[in-house]
Amino acid sequence: TQGPIARQFQWKGDHYEVVRQFNPENPRADLIAATRYALLDGSTGSFIYDRNSGDLIHFSDEGNPWGKIHIPDADQTIFDLVQLRNQTRDTLILLDRTGLNEITSGGTRLEAVACAEYISPSENPLMAYAKHVELGSPPQAMVAMVDPANRTIEIARRNNGDLINELVFEVFLTSDFADVGRSRGTEPHDLESGDINGDGTGDLVALVHDKLLIYLGE
């Protein structure tokens, strides 16, 4: 996303190309979060959140139809969208700094069930978000968590119903890491994993400001 415009890129051979541009026709739009969707009625497309208007904008994959869902009193710190897929109800979660907002369609609502607990070993942690990653050799399912208060990433793995800390490491030495104001989000703003160098070991990738950081697994 870039201000009032969002673009979709696709890998073509050895580079990325813009394959679609999304324009909600709001010159003051602040498009700050997006996610793909696949709904129960078979429709697919992209949801994009406009912080300026408080609108959730949906762009269909079929042709160019689009529309808006206005969210009254939307939290100004919304930073991500996640679709929860199930067989009875379309559910979209809007994540913000204080919790989450849920947008649902008809059907039976699913309830979250706690299956594990994790306590950070850091001092006064602020766990901003968590991502499923596969790290190590062979790659194992783990959870990577961002703690902007201590400028760290924490890695945990499942062990007999508990989440056990595997590693804590510092990403930044400056306080910029913890700047979660309106104009800047938590950094790193995304984490992913994969075998980056082809050695069969799961590696961690972090998107930080305008940089891509790669932590090779051992």
For residues 7 and 25, what is the distance between their CA atoms, to the nearest angstrom? 14
Identify the three-state secondary structure at position 31: strand
209: containing domain: 129-215
Indicate if 134 and 83 belong to the same structural domain.
Answer: no
Indicate if 88 and 167 belong to the same structural domain.
Answer: no
Quick one: pLDDT at residue 110? 58
Instruction: Tell me the per-residue pLDDT of 83-97, one tens digit each, with 9 for 90 and over.
Output: 887 777 888 888 887
- Could you tell me if residue 51 is inside a domain? yes
- Could you tell me if residue 116 is inside a domain? no
C-alpha distance from residue 97 to each of 37, 49, 148, 203 (Å): 23, 15, 12, 28
Mean pLDDT of the chain: 84
Quick one: pLDDT at residue 20? 87
Counting as low any pLDDT under 50, the low residues of the chain are 177-184
Instruction: Tell me the per-residue pLDDT of 124-146, one tens digit each, with 9 for 90 and over.
Output: 888 888 888 999 999 999 999 99
- Could you tell me if residue 45 is inside a domain? yes
- Could you tell me if residue 88 is inside a domain? yes
Quick one: pLDDT at residue 13? 85
- Could you tell me if residue 72 is inside a domain? yes
- Could you tell me if residue 57 is inside a domain? yes
**Cβ contacts of 187 within 8 Å, gap of 6 or more:** 146, 148, 171, 172, 176, 177, 179, 208, 209
| 156 close to 164: Cβ distance less than 8 angstroms | yes
The pTM for the full model equals 0.58
Indicate if 96 and 21 belong to the same structural domain.
Answer: yes
Please, what sign has the CA dihedral across residues 21, 25, 28, 34? negative
Question: How many domains does one find in the chain?
Answer: 2
Indicate if 63 and 153 belong to the same structural domain.
Answer: no
